[in-house]
Amino acid sequence: MPAALGDLAQRLGLDPRSAYLTVALTHSSHAAEHGGTSNERFEFLGDAVVDLVIADQLVRDHPDLDEGQASLVRSRTVSEAALAGAAARLELGTLLRVGRGERKTGGPARPSLLADAFEAVVAALYLERGFEAARAFVREALEPELARALAARDRVDPKSRLRQWTETTGRGVPVYEVTATGASHDPTYHATVRVGGHVLGRGRGSSKKTAEAAAARAAWERRDDA
């Protein structure tokens, strides 16, 4: 038994020979070559558990965040890159069982495989020890990613922030319309942004980008009217 597997099992509170843990560390390429069950279904479950844990933590511990900010922080904390980083700290790449072809192409080091493996391990813990154990593990494992996301919560461009809010609240995608006035060598751009078919913000600027950003900021300030 590799020492890293024993360390991981100890951290999870699982037996290193746990059938759930074995499945969590088995990529589909390995299952296809050698038989057995891959971790694909565990990825599906683990994704939901991780999302719930982080959303629960944000609501409980950060009441200062509005819905748009909380959604943005959560999405950054559970992104592929963030989960892959957590998986790397756990050395999941050295423990993940992959097929020969996948290993030749550097599979265990790919962020997508590492992120999937992290989710699968969370599912294994959830299935064997329950939600509270899974929650404690996820909160500890993703603490650095959550801290970075919280620190950067206000560093987001107006259009991204508006779109994040409209999508998470079921209002669809903002639609921008831009026109130009003035001399061709020095135009002024005027932008409107529609949410749910209604104009929610207007803005202007020396470029299409700045005009759309101004409209997005105006719409954000009026979001309660949408």
Catalytic residue positions, numbered: 47, 119
* Other beta carbons within 10 Å of 104: 9
Output the six-digit token pair for 199: 């104009």
| Strand spans (E) along 33-106 | none
Give strand ranges (E) for 136-219: 175-181, 188-195, 198-205
Q: How far is Cα 195 from Cα 167, in angstroms, rounded to an integer?
A: 10
Characterize the bridge pairing of strands 188-195 and 175-181: antiparallel
Terminal CA-CA length for the chain: 58
The crossing angle, in degrees rounded to 10, of helices 131-141 and 111-129 is 150
How many beta carbons lie within 10 A of that of residue 79, not counting itself?
15
Closest CA to 102 of 118, 114, 89, 90: 114
Nearest CA among 16, 13, 14 for reference residue 4: 16
